[in-house]
Structure 1
């Protein structure tokens, strides 16, 4: 294994590896319109990217839990029809870092509240699958509101079961949900400023970086 201060790397997906907003936001608008709800205010756009969708439909659109379950099912149906990798772009430089970490022998996985089947489709489309030990995301079943802590706990357990050293993990993410979810597992977080989080959300991270390329020296230096 190559030199690294971390024994394994866990990645958030939306806002960290990929920008899927070009597909996510129009689908949300369709769902809100069908439910007779107003469009997303300009100052709330970034708040929709990253957190669990069930949570966002309740907190940002004011839906009841039952209404939010229906909204999530409709949203995911639209995503499936359009293609999970449709309108997704990868952040400049992030794949280079992932490939270098993989080449150094440092195990990688995801810990994202994006549904696991959507992550798998995106990784297959961009030829990233073989760079990760496994993919861990939210349970695709509507009505299941996996938190970051839920997914992170499963990811650590699975990596451990696969023989991966999880004694010195690090999570890379762009929202306070990443920091909040990692806290209970004592997993340090590197905050991705290139994503959708606000500066206020950096609190609690061990480091905040402006570009994916800046990760290289931190992870492998």
Structure 2
């Protein structure tokens, strides 16, 4: 039996690919305020970090009120149709089922707002696998979410964060937790390995095999 007291999963780029919905919703917001739209080919750069960071970097705007307005416009479209413009990665349902059947508690920790994350889990029929959903919001970073989960006793010192971007690894390490990277999402091997994760997985089958023996 694996020794991890909880497996914390990221959502975007780890369980499902949100590229289409995120790109279209970002461009919807940018167009609303007269900013140049982004090229869909470069969307991976904006999947993972908090929205306010992405909009500041995309537009160069630092005014807090304008950034909040961009996020509000993004969420209008994302909450309507963008969340459903999403593709589940092959092997994810089977992997989550295997981990649960082995007795491992699963939680979701995403920079996405919690209500959007819950709708995506329900869209794919994954909601019953997770004991809790921790979502982000403006001004709330993933390391802060994990710190809150620790303070609440929802995760213990043997928890493992699983995600596809460097932010997932660094958020776990900042809280004294181990982390694992996945290569089927939007982060490169180089990005992940630079943060020294415990594991880097190439597919969901490997994830299950290694974590059940970890």
TM-score by length of 1: 0.89
Contact 2:180 2:201 in 1 (8 A): yes
Tell me if the contact between 1:111 and 1:155 (Cα under 8 Å) persists in the aligned partners: no
* Equivalence for 1:195: 185
How well do the aligned residues superpose, as a CA RMSD in angstroms? 1.6
After TM superposition, give the deviation of residue 18 of structure 1 in Å: 1.0
Equivalent residues of 1:55, 1:145 under 8 A apart = no
CA contact 1:16–1:174 (8 Å) conserved in 2? yes
Shift of residue 60, structure 1, vs aligned partner: 2.5
Number of aligned residue pairs: give it: 210
Q: Which residue of 2 aligns with 1:151?
A: 145
Unaligned runs of 5+ in 1: none
Q: Secondary structure, in 3 states, of the residue corresponding to 1:172?
A: strand
Indicate how the Cα distance of structure 1 residues 76 and 42 shifts in structure 2: closer, same or farther if over 3 A, else same: closer
Q: Is residue 216 from structure 1 mapped to residue 208 from structure 2 by the alignment?
A: yes
Q: How much does 1:93 deviate?
A: 0.7
> Does the CA contact (< 8 Å) of 1:136 and 1:154 recur in 2?
no
* Deviation larger for 172-181 or 35-44: 35-44
**Deviation of 1:186 (Å):** 1.3
What are structure 2's unaligned runs of at least 5 residues? none
1:92-151: per-residue Cα shift (whole Å, max 9, x none)?
111111111111111110111111001111112222111111111114xxxx22111011
State the TM-score, normalizing by the size of structure 2.
0.91
Mapping 1:67-106, distance limit 5 Å = 67-82=66-81, 84=83, 86-106=84-104
